[in-house]
Every structure is written in structure tokens, then in C-alpha cells.
Structure 1
């Protein structure tokens, strides 16, 4: 069967429209209800697509959450890298520069704590070869590399040590944003906890 001119383009536009509707519906429902209060059927209904169509784009609710959060996580890392660059340019120390980088990331993860917690758990403990999880892991490594770059500029750190310290600080961020102990804390309290730990890791006054 020969496709008529323009039919492929229409199909691609229709696919992209469905994907956009699914993403918009998932984003809105996760924000409104948290991941635990949402079903894939409810997302499909909000997006006005059949449940089978939704599964063509993401086979589970967890995959949908990762898709949505990956977009937000990437934007937050971009914002943090710009802020960290400005802090370094202004002569801020390592702690201040690292905090400038991680603050938008932590704000993103704490916007809906249940979602941020579930997202990080999926990234850390989920299927590492799944395409969406793989993208999330790449973003996490980008954040870690950004921290390592800041630390490598400090005269007291060689590149290998900077990478190890960045891994430790990334673990601090994960624990402080997901631990049950901090679920009821507001963003300022979580950031202050991270600031104190980063200061201790870098042997800097808090």
C-alpha cells in the first residue's frame, strides 16, 4: 500500500499530539494528587486517549512519572548550573556555589515530595536499561558532574577527589530529599540540612 503525500506527516503530528496530551494529563494529575493518587486509566481519561494508546508511550505509571520528572529535573539542572556559574564568577566559595547549583534541583524534587521521592527511587533502584530511567540516570550524572566541576576548581581538591566528593554530596541530596524523616520539612529546612552536610563534607564552616 502506498501512502498518499502528507499522510506520514499527519500521522506523526497525531502521535505527537497524543504524546503531548498524555504528558500534560500526567503532569497535572501527579501535581494535583501525587503519584499514589493517580492511575494510568485516569491519566488516559484526562488525555482523552484509550488506555492501550497510553501504553504505547509508557507501559507503567512509574514510566510516566519518570517522563514527567525528567523534563522538570533537566530544567532544574540547567537553572542550577547557571546559578552556580554566577556564584563562581562572583567569587563564592565551594559550599555557596554547590548550594546555588543544587537549590533548584531540590526545589524541583520537593515541589511534590511524594513524586520526588518516588522518582529518585525509580532512578536509583529501577531498571537501568529502561529508556526513561536511563535518561534520568544521565541527568543525575550531569548534576554530579556539575558539582565535581565546582569542587575541582578548589585548590584543595584534585579531580579524582572532586568526583568522589561530588558522589557523596549527591547521596546527601538523595537522602535529604527522600528520607521519611524530612517528608514534612519545608524547602528551607531541607536546604539548610543539605548546606550543613555539604559544609561538613568539604570541611568548611556551615
Structure 2
């Protein structure tokens, strides 16, 4: 059965959400999340601030809205690229590289995004979506480990949680804020290599 086309109200809501996402994405990329106000985002999206808060209640939620879209795309790219890897470590690192590049487009935004995931309100819809993306990341890593390291589903799932924790900690840590992407990837690779079965 074909899905019903969206009504005018739903189309208007979707159009506003797209304008908000585009405006927040552009402003956050140019200035960083800490330097942008919700009023600037509302103005750029051509809506009132009251309307903006119907879609995201805080600036942190706006960042989650924007970054969730980018993170999902990076996860999909990494998953596709990992298919061609010959070892579990290489497969995991192909995925990690895509996520790291996404996270480091704007360093402060990437680090703030990870903090929002860990400390934000899980009842907020964009935060819940971010947690779902983290869960999907663990599932993809577990799939790589099960396939390329021939681990059981339980072992692969457990190790995947550790791999994702390593990646997030390296990317979020203040001490690593000035590191280049190759330096971050080298740190993550060394730690992941230490926990994978030989």
C-alpha cells in the first residue's frame, strides 16, 4: 500500500525543520555553537524564537539536531567502506575515521556534541535520536568484529561498546582538542588494537 502524501501542515512543519537545521548548521560551522544565539538561528531560518523552541528547546538540542544528521551520514559512509577492509582493526578504523572527520569539522561543536550525548536530557527527541545513533554505531562495530575477527555476537557486542567509548573519550577530551585528525586516529587505533583479540 502506498504511503499517503503529507498534508499541508506536515509539509510546513518539515520545511521549517529543514530551514532551522540549515540555519543552525551554517551558523554553528561559521562561528561555533558557543558564539551563536538562538535568536540568530531563528532569524536565519525566518521564524520566531517561539517557533524555534517548538523544534528544539535548547541550543544543545539544536546542535544535536544538526550533528545527528552529519553523524548518520558519516556512519553510513564508514559502514560501506569497512566492507573492503581485510582485518577487524582496519574495518573498525575505516569507520572511526569517517566519524572522526565528521566530529572535527568544527572542533568545539564536535566536542560539545559528544558532551550533549553523555550529559543531555534523554527525554528530548534530538538527544534520544543521538543515543540511537550511538547504539547503531556499536551495532556496526560489532558487525565488523563478528565478521572479520570471527567473534561471537556477545563478544563482538561487548568489545564494540569499549571501542565506541574509546573513540568518544579521545574525541571529547580537552587535552586532545588541538590534535590533528591523524594524531587522533593513531591514538584510537593503538587503544583499539590493544583490546582486540590477536
TM > 0.5 between the two? yes
Q: Which residue of 2 aligns with 1:39?
A: 37
Cα distance in 2 for residues equivalent to 1:138 and 1:94: 23
Unaligned 5+ runs, structure 2: 1-5
Name the stretch that deviates more: 175-184 or 121-130. 121-130
Aligned equivalent of 2:103, options 88, 100, 109: 109
Are 1:70 and 1:136, in contact at CA under 8 Å, matched by a contact in 2?
yes
Q: Which residue of 1 aligns with 2:64?
A: 66
1:13, distance to aligned residue in structure 2 (A): 3.2
Aligned length: 193
- Provide closer, same or farther for how the CA distance between residues 104 and 42 of structure 1 changes in structure 2, counting only shifts above 3 A: same
Q: Secondary structure at the residue paired with 2:12?
A: helix
Unaligned 5+ runs, structure 1: 1-7
CA deviations on 1:24-81 (whole Å, 9 max, x unpaired) are 1100001011111111011111112111111111111111110000100100000010
Q: TM-score, normalised by structure 1?
A: 0.88
1:12, distance to aligned residue in structure 2 (A): 3.4
Q: Which has the larger radius of gyration?
A: 1
Q: Secondary structure at the residue paired with 1:153?
A: helix
Q: Secondary structure at the residue paired with 2:84?
A: helix
1:160, distance to aligned residue in structure 2 (A): 1.5
- Does 2:25 match 1:27? yes
Q: Which residue of 2 aligns with 1:99?
A: 93
Are 2:145 and 2:151, in contact at CA under 8 Å, matched by a contact in 1?
yes
Cα distance in 2 for residues equivalent to 1:154 and 1:14: 46
Aligned equivalent of 1:51, options 49, 52, 64: 49
Q: TM-score, normalised by structure 2?
A: 0.91
Are 2:117 and 2:131, in contact at CA under 8 Å, matched by a contact in 1?
yes
RMSD after superposition? 1.6
CA deviations on 1:109-154 (whole Å, 9 max, x unpaired) are 1111111111111112211222111111111111111111111234
- Provide closer, same or farther for how the CA distance between residues 190 and 9 of structure 1 changes in structure 2, counting only shifts above 3 A: same
Are 1:113 and 1:178, in contact at CA under 8 Å, matched by a contact in 2?
no
